Amino acid sequence: MSEENIELHRRWNEAFNTRDVDACLAYCDPEIELHSAVTGPGPAEYHGHSGVRRWHREIAEAFGGEIRLEPEAFFDCGEHTISYHVLHGRGQQSGADVTTRAAHLCRWRNGRIVYFQGYLQREDAFRDLGVSIDELEEVAPRGDTAGTSDEKYLLADQPSELERLQLQSRVWEPSGRELLSKIDGGSGARALDVGCGALGWLRILAEWVGPSGQVVGTDIDESLLDAARSFLEGEGISNAELLVDDLFDSKLDPQSFDLVHARYVIAPLGRGPEQVASHQRLLRPGGSLVLEEWDLGSWHFNPPAPAAERLIRLLSDIFAALGGEAGRVLPELLRDIGIEQPDINAHVIALEPGHPYLRLPLQFSVALESRLLERLSDDELASLRDEAERELAEPGRWGTTFTLIQGWGPLPL
């Protein structure tokens, strides 16, 4: 568990460096207590997500929005983690570069920070925990992702979409694994994830094909593939290759895959029959096509969250104009290419209070902002988001996801 906390602490650092407040909040418990060493004068205290937002604003004011953490080491202290880092900023008065050695102490519960304390005297973090630095093993920052200029550049490109796609992929991995366990012949197979984004099915396909198999992930967005590459390297997954490829003009060899998978690609693009024809071309006869898309009907909060649910309705209208609720037409699409009796399944996940995936309507509202602004004024959208934010921060509110519909089957021989 604590190794996972170190990984989460790393990711929080990375999210902080992109200055994407929503991405940072995904790692914060709604009841978080945050003590800052840099927004003073003197120690300053913040509570809950709204407090964390205020902290980010005050940091941006104090450091001209140019603050960045360069991690030097992490320490695993069970439910706590400590980071040693150099804080890079720009003095508000002087405009000069400022570098300060500092530490953060985080207490984690269910994958989120419940207590956060910043220190300018690093050793005080250990003193407050009552442990000696000599008793702990130092974990080095990961060279490929932590604070390198490449990573900052790519995350700066599209941070909220990237965070959303990786979180989303993790949430649905168990449903994907369950499906793959029903398809024989994984070991040694060649599998393709089309439009894999920042993670998609890459990790679970790599498990399914095993060390003697090969996974290919394609996307048209190079920055998402870069993020997926960092993820795979961090996980030590070496049997997956990532390629830029437009599914509607694919350069991959025909009939070269045993399994082709695509998730949430029909819904935003709305070109189901063409897409499925492209997948069919890449599969060997008898190879399996797996499609996953959503049906938005089950996407609710309990107790109801009127603002977040209004956002969902607006987003549903936007998707209806794109690819609709593509999940419901999957069997038909599969039958049209000769998969006469496709298997189908459906999954809904209950999200406990504070689960970061509850924030999906807010994250979509960033990705689809221009389309929302065709339906709402700037002010209406801002107040809808504020209200939805407040609803989601209320203790006890849980939710159900949209329904993931899975359809799959083998091509005729």
Ligand X SMILES: C[S@@+](CC[C@H](N)C(=O)[O-])C[C@H]1O[C@@H](n2cnc3c(N)ncnc32)[C@H](O)[C@@H]1O
**Residues interacting with ligand X, by CB under 6 A?**
165, 168-169, 195-197, 200, 218-221, 224, 246-248, 263-265, 268-269
Least distance in angstroms from the C-beta of 137 to ligand X: 34
Least distance in angstroms from the C-beta of 108 to ligand X: 25
Q: How far is CA 381 from CA 263, 299, 318, 372, 373, in A?
A: 29, 20, 15, 8, 7
Return the bridge partners of 74, or none.
83, 139
Least distance in angstroms from the C-beta of 164 to ligand X: 9
- CB nearer to ligand X: pick between 32 and 162: 162
Strand 403-410 relative to strand 283-295, pairing: antiparallel
Q: How far is CA 202 from CA 176, 197, 199, 330, in A?
A: 11, 10, 6, 22
Least distance in angstroms from the C-beta of 301 to ligand X: 22
- CB nearer to ligand X: pick between 18 and 117: 18
Alpha helices in 46-190 (DSSP H): 48-63, 123-129, 149-157, 159-180
- How many angstroms separate the CA atoms of 269 and 324, rounded? 9
- CB nearer to ligand X: pick between 27 and 231: 231
- CB nearer to ligand X: pick between 118 and 407: 407
Greatest CA separation for the chain = 73
Least distance in angstroms from the C-beta of 401 to ligand X: 13
Q: What is residue 249's DSSP assignment? A: G
Least distance in angstroms from the C-beta of 245 to ligand X: 6
- How many angstroms separate the CA atoms of 268 and 323, rounded? 5
Least distance in angstroms from the C-beta of 204 to ligand X: 11
Phi then psi for residue 25, to 5 deg, are -65, -25
Residue 303: asked if its preceding bond is cis (omega within 30°), the reply is yes
CB atoms within 10 A of CB 46: 20
State the DSSP H helix or E strand holding residue 147, giving kind and residue range, or none if neither: none
Are residues 6 and 81 in contact, defined by beta-carbon separation less than 8 angstroms? Answer: yes
Q: Residues 6 or more apart from 335 whose CB is under 8 A from it? A: 342
Least distance in angstroms from the C-beta of 214 to ligand X: 19
- CB nearer to ligand X: pick between 37 and 265: 265
- CB nearer to ligand X: pick between 96 and 321: 321
Amino acid identity of residue 112, one-letter, is R
Least distance in angstroms from the C-beta of 323 to ligand X: 10
- CB nearer to ligand X: pick between 114 and 243: 243
> What is the C-alpha end-to-end distance of the chain, expressed in Å?
46
Are residues 199 and 235 in contact, defined by beta-carbon separation less than 8 angstroms? Answer: no
What sign results for the dihedral spanned by CA atoms 367, 372, 374, 379? Answer: negative
Return the bridge partners of 294, or none.
404
Q: Residues 6 or more apart from 1 whose CB is under 8 A from it? A: none
Q: Let me know how long the chain is.
A: 413
- CB nearer to ligand X: pick between 224 and 259: 224
- CB nearer to ligand X: pick between 196 and 314: 196
Least distance in angstroms from the C-beta of 178 to ligand X: 16
